[in-house]
Amino acid sequence: MHSPTKAHTTRPVILVTAGSAGLGAAVSRLFAKNGYRVVVNYAHNSQRATELVKELSATTNPTDADGKNYIAIQADLGAKSDIKRLVEETVSAMGRLDVVMSNGGWTRFTDMSSLDDNVNDEDWDRAYAMNVKSHLWLLHAARPALDESSGSFITTASTAGVSNSGSSLAYSVAKAAQIHMAKGLARMVGPRIRVNTVSPGLLLTEWAERFTDEQKEAHRQKTALQRFVQLEDVAAQVLTLAQSSSTTGVNVVIDSGFII
């Protein structure tokens, strides 16, 4: 892995977990356009992550032939040791860490009207591990670097954590716990680190492909704006939170007016 040079370490760095597609990729692209060096974390799809890194370099800094501004690092967010390694490799390669977009999550779709379909132990354990604990472990690992940079830690939650909705009861409850946890973490790691959460409504990513067209249209019809949430709007909110020195412990709902 490349060692950072002084010229590179003057530019801020964002680590985006689950960063190679969907919202993670949108955040990676926006931050790259705004002068950040980007570390794209991925779990399995190395080709997709590599292609995104090449795209970021080509579109924002075509002369960056040494490949130090944008890199991809594999890590399983379900493993505490992998999360620790991910942060260590990020700081080793980039020399600093200013923003973490903790974007990982997990669900198994169930019938939200059926109690019997929502009592699977494995679902609850996995949902809590990925949607709550992984964010906790990541902040804990990144704290020294973020403390040094007076950085920002932003997690991706969901409107399912604000209202009884989403893909399963376990997912909805875990997302509510994630939002609540972020408020406690903001107190714990202040005053130098800011912790915030974004809660998007339904995004038309690979995640949403598990919903039927009828379910997606029903969701859209229930929004006040009669439209789906745009990835770019959520990414823009992440950038705003990263750059605000006065915002912490906040959950920003971006849902086209679904829950009002």
Secondary structure (H, E, C), 188-256: HHCCCCEEEEEEECCECCHHHHHCCHHHHHHHHHHCCCCCCECHHHHHHHHHHHHHCCCCCCCEEEECC
Domain boundaries, the chain: 6-254
Show which residues are catalytic.
171
pLDDT of residue 65: 46
202: which 2 tokens?
Answer: 């339904």
Tokens of 61: 């800094």
Q: What is the pLDDT of residue 108?
A: 84
Closest of 203, 197, 201, 253 to residue 223, by C-alpha: 201
* Predicted TM-score (pTM) above 0.95: no
pLDDT for the residue 62: 60
d(CA 7, CA 258): 45
- Quick one: pLDDT at residue 189? 98
CA triple 144-53-13, angle to 5 deg = 25
Supply the pLDDT for residue 205.
79
Place of tokens 């950038």: 239
User: How confident is the model at residue 241, as a pLDDT?
Assistant: 98
pLDDT < 50: residue spans in the chain: 1-2, 5-7, 65
Q: Class for domain 6-254, per CATH?
A: alpha beta
pLDDT at residue 208, as a whole number: 67
